[in-house]
């Protein structure tokens, strides 16, 4: 068996406790890696809602002890075991992982164990809460905890006749170095590294550009700043590298107004692969209308399943409200209304902008066609609309006539707008569309709050106002 390690999980910057835990646990019990949750087990919690349950345990601990988490506070611990290829089955790996957690935590802490089968070597991820289940204390992580965990793990493997590593080798380097050997960096990654290595606070922007040239990059200074790294075929605009690499951001970094941490491919790389999955696990889902399902013919087995699911979603909804600072029903109603209005306002304006952009594009095309063939049409007109002349210049004259018909349909009876004014309006609309932000994210936020309010209404025994209105219409 390969070296077993244990690492603490700290609260991520800009993320809530539950969201941080959901990211880590979501990576561990990813259905694509665990054969659709077949090789996942939990203790003291349900793996489906384990992130919220870990967060709730920590919150109760803080209330009971008064020890509020500070910077660097440990939320949970992550243990990984990796087994020799072809020597073990996922079922046995899951059994060893659970046994390791039982011995390490003495069944005093909630944990989730997940076996990944997506790689050539089967490996096990174990995540347990730092707070014990009675919320009275936290796991004491000794200085030599790595050695202790490894000894327990080796003992469990030896009991089952599996191979162990007698003298584990030290780390062979960072994950990024290994990943670069396995999968070469893209030109964009290389350019970002060159920029990070050649820019520093307190330097003049021109010195930074000179340093990039000295590093072998070709520089293009025009409307947009662009670099071409050695060996590349094309220039790359810095604005396409991200918000920390735009020309304005680089100017701020030179004068020290913007600090950018060193990029590390290892930081959160695994979590980013399952960010959408973890986020979906953290978001509340609608409660099941059990009575309606029973009227449709669902049996007692479904009733038991739906009851359990509703309890999980109710807990997730309450955690969601707590994490977002909602303490009263009135605040929830206002938040739900605000997010709905914000989304529909942005979405409607985006549709208007898209329609106008399409109209400007079509108008520019027709103005161009009309202008190119205007003199030719004048000759055709002076010829008395000679048919032979038309046949010789059929394509140009047909486009001119189509453009004229388009202007008439659009109501342009007098002077046409200039191409310059249309380009200016197009650029302004694009800028406004960008300022609207991520419409998809606004829609997801609206859906989250709509679901949360619907669930609270169900929990309180009240029907949503929209449902009451539909009931009145049906009378």
Angle between helix 90-105 and helix 145-159 axes, rounded to 10 deg:
130
- Judged by DSSP in three states, 265 sits in coil
Quick: pLDDT tens for 69-123: 666 688 999 999 988 888 889 999 999 999 999 998 989 999 999 999 888 788 9
Q: How confident is the model at residue 168 (pLDDT cuts 50, 70, 90)?
A: low
430 has pLDDT over 90: no
Closest CA to 282 of 43, 54, 34: 54
Angle between helix 17-28 and helix 300-323 axes, rounded to 10 deg:
130
List strands edge to edge, sheet with 5-10.
5-10, 74-82, 123-132, 109-116, 40-43
Task: State the Cα–Cα distance between residues 131 and 109, nearest whole angstrom.
Answer: 7
Closest CA to 290 of 279, 274, 278, 301: 301
Q: Using alpha carbons only, what angle is made at residue 155 by residues 153 and 160, rounded to the nearest 5 degrees?
A: 100
**Residue range 230-242: mean pLDDT, rounded:** 89
Q: Using alpha carbons only, what angle is made at residue 65 by residues 49 and 41, rounded to the nearest 5 degrees?
A: 25
Can you give the pLDDT at residue 102? 92
Quick: pLDDT tens for 332-358: 999 999 999 999 999 999 999 988 888
469 has pLDDT over 80: no
Q: What secondary structure letter does DSSP report for 474?
A: H
- Better-scored residue on pLDDT, 313 or 280: 313
Closest CA to 97 of 34, 177, 175, 181: 34
Q: For residue 201, what are its two tokens? A: 């606070």
């Amino acid at each position: 068996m390969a070296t077993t390690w244990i690492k603490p999980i700290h609260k991520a910057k800009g993320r809530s406790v539950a969201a941080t835990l959901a990211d880590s646990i979501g990576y561990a019990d990813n259905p694509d890696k665990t054969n659709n949750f077949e090789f996942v087990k939990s203790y003291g919690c349900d793996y489906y809602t384990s992130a919220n349950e870990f967060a709730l345990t920590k919150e109760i601990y803080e209330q009971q002890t008064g020890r509020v988490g500070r910077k660097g506070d440990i939320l949970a611990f992550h243990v990984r075991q990796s087994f020799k290829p072809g020597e073990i089955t996922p079922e046995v790996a899951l059994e060893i992982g659970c046994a390791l957690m039982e011995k390490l935590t003495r069944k005093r802490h909630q944990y989730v164990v997940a076996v990944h089968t997506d790689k050539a070597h089967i490996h096990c991820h174990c995540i347990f809460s730092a707070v014990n289940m009675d919320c009275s204390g936290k796991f004491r992580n000794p200085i030599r905890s790595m050695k202790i965990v490894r000894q327990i793990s080796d003992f469990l493997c030896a009991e089952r006749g599996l191979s162990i590593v007698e003298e584990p080798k030290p780390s062979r380097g960072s994950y990024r170095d290994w990943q670069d050997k396995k999968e070469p960096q893209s030109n964009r990654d290389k350019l970002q590294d060159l920029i990070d290595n050649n820019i520093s606070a307190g330097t003049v922007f021109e010195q930074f550009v000179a340093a990039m040239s000295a590093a072998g990059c070709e520089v293009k200074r025009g409307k947009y700043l662009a670099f071409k790294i050695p060996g590349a075929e094309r220039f790359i605009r810095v604005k396409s590298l991200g918000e920390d690499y735009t020309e304005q951001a680089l100017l701020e970094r030179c004068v020290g107004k913007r600090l950018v941490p060193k990029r590390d491919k290892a930081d959160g790389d695994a979590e980013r692969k399952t960010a959408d999955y973890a986020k979906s696990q953290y978001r509340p889902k609608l409660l099941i209308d059990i009575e309606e399902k029973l009227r449709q013919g669902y049996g007692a087995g479904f009733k038991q399943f739906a009851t359990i699911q509703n309890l999980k979603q109710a807990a997730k909804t309450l955690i969601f409200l707590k994490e977002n600072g909602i303490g009263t029903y009135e605040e929830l109603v206002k938040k739900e209304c605000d997010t709905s209005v914000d989304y529909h306002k942005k979405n409607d304006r985006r549709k208007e902008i898209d329609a106008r952009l399409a109209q400007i594009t079509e108008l520019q095309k027709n103005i161009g066609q009309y202008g190119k063939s205007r003199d030719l049409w004048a000759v055709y007109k002076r010829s008395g609309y000679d048919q032979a002349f038309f046949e010789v210049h059929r394509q140009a004259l047909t486009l001119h006539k189509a453009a004229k018909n388009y202007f008439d349909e659009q109501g342009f009876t007098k002077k046409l707008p200039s191409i310059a004014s249309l380009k200016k309006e197009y650029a302004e609309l694009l800028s406004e569309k960008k300022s609207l932000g991520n419409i998809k994210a606004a829609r997801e936020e609206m859906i989250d709050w709509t679901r949360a309010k619907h669930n609270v209404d169900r929990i309180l025994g009240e029907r949503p106002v929209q449902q009451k209105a539909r009931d009145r219409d049906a009378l």
